[in-house]
Chain A
C-alpha cells in the first residue's frame, strides 16, 4: 500500500528525514513512533502530497506521490497534526463540503455522511458548529472526514493527542475497528497507544528509522524478557553470591528490608530466562521464596533505550569530529 524508498527531506539547515525506507502492506495498522520532531509529520505530509521530498521515492497504491499527486490523494484519508478544521462550519455542513471535494458521487453523499456520522458517534452533534465542540468531538470530525471517501489508506497524525482518557479509549477502539477494513498509518509519541492498536511499529528518531517490527518482536529481540524480581528470606550477602552464580544471570542488585526479606533485582543475559535456576538455587539453600516474577518490558523501555543508544552514538560521532578538527 505504501512503499517508501530512501526518502530524504531537508529544510534550510535541518534534515527532517534522512534516507528513510519502509513499506506498509494492505490491511496493516502501522504505528509511527517517535519523539516530537522525529520526522513523523514530515513523512505523512510527503505521503499525502502536501510537501515533496528532497530526494527519494514514495508510492501509495502503486502511484508516485509527487507525479500522481491528485490520484494519490483520492486513495488517502488524512487527518493532519492538531486536526485543523473550519471552526465556523457545522459538522454536517463541513462533511458535505469535504465529500464534494473528495468526489463522493452526489447520489451517495447523504448516505455516506450518515454512515461516517454514525461510525464516529457524531449523529447527536451533526448540527452543531465545529468551533463549539469539545476536543474529543472535533477529533472525531477529523476522523469522519478522513473516512468520507472510503479511502484505501488512512493516514492519522497523532489521532489521540489532547484527548482525555475516556476519549482516548474511544478513539483507539474506533481505529482498531477501522483497521478491519482499511490500511492505517498512524503516528504517536504515546507508546501504549501504538502498542495497543498497531500490528507493527516503526520507531523513528531524528529523521531515521531505528526499528520496524511487531510490538511483541520488538520486545523479544531488543530486551529479552526484562528484569526478574525475587524476594527471598535469607542473609543478603549469601543470597547475592548464590543467585549471581545462576546460569543466565547478568547482574543482580540486592536490598535487604526490615522484615528480613532480601529484594533482588536480576538482569538476565540476552535471551536467557534464569527463573528456573533461581528457584532451584533458593529452594536448595532452604530459604523461603515469596516472589519470583518477571517485569514485562514495555515499548516505552525499548523506545527510551533505542533513542538513548542513538543519541549516545550521535554524541560519539560528534566528539570524534571535534577531536579530528583539533
Chain B
C-alpha cells in the first residue's frame, strides 16, 4: 500500500521534472556514432525552435592544467602581473557555429596569434555557448618581483566573481589552444524548421575518454540548451595519453627522438636538452611548461652518470664544481617558476635566439683559428685524461678488481 503511494508520488515528481525539462530545454541530440578510435568525425543532429541561432559546445572529460599571465597594461595604465590558473580545463574544447560564420572565422584566422577569443565569441554570437571553462575553478595569484625571486607564484587572491571568471576563462582557453581553428568551427547546417545537423570532429591525438556535446539555441526569448549527449574516444597501444600535456601520441616517436638527440648530445659533449625542447614543442601540440619540466629530469640521469665517470678518474674539481653549482642551484630554483609566465610563442621566440647564439658558438669552435689555438689544449686534455685513466686502472688492479673499460664522455669541446 505505502509502496504504491510512494511509486505514484515518484511518478508525479518525475512527470513534473520531465515536463519542466521539456519546457526550457531542447530535444536530446542524436549522434550517428558514439565510439571513436583516436578521433574522427561524427554527425550531430537536433531540433531547435525555428529562427533560432544554434551552437554546439564540445568538451572532453579529461582535463589539464592551464594558465594565463596578465602582464598587459590595463585601462588604468597599470600592469596587473596576475597569474590565472585552473587545473580543470578540458583537454579538448571547441564551440561549433553556423556555416554562415565561416567568413568571420577566416578573418580572425588571418589576424595570426594576436586574435582575441572573447571578441571572436562575441562577433559570432558563440559566447552564448561558452559555459564549461567559465564554471571551472580558477586560482588567481598576484605575482611580484620579490615573490618571483623567492620562487613563489605570489599571494593567492580571493575567488573571482562569475563575470570576471568568465572573462579570465576565455583568456586561459586562448592561451592553451591558441588557434582559431582549434577553438571554433563553422559546420552547423540550420534549416528553416529549426532542425540542424553538424559535423563534429575530435582530432587524432586528442585525449581519450568521454566527450560531451550540448546544443545551445539562442531565440528571441533567451538561451535554451539541450541535454548532454556523450561519446567515447578510445586510443590503443602504441598510442599513449600524456595526462598532464593533454595529448596522445605514438610512444615510439618521442622515444626515437630522445634517443637520436641524446646520442648527438653525447657526441657534442653536452646534454641534448637544448635540442630536445624546441623539437618537442614544434612537432606536437605540447605545452612548453610540460616539455621543459619533463626534459630536465630526463637528462638528469645522463649527467649523473657523466659525473660518476669523471669522478672515477678524479677528473672533477669538486671545489670549483660545487661552488658554481650552488650558484646554479639558486638559479634553478627561480627559473622553472618563470616558465608559466610566458606564452608558447614567447618561449619559441626566445629559444630561437638562444639557438642562434649556440649555433654561432659551435661554428666558432670549428674555425681554423680556434682549432689552432685549441690544439695544444686538446693535447693536454687527452694526456691528462690518459694519465687519469691509467691511475684509476692501477688503483682498481691494486684492489684486485677487474677494471672495466671506461666510458669516455663524448668528444672534447
**A and B bind:** no
Please report B residues at the A interface, Cβ cutoff 8 Å: none
Please report A residues at the B interface, Cβ cutoff 8 Å: none
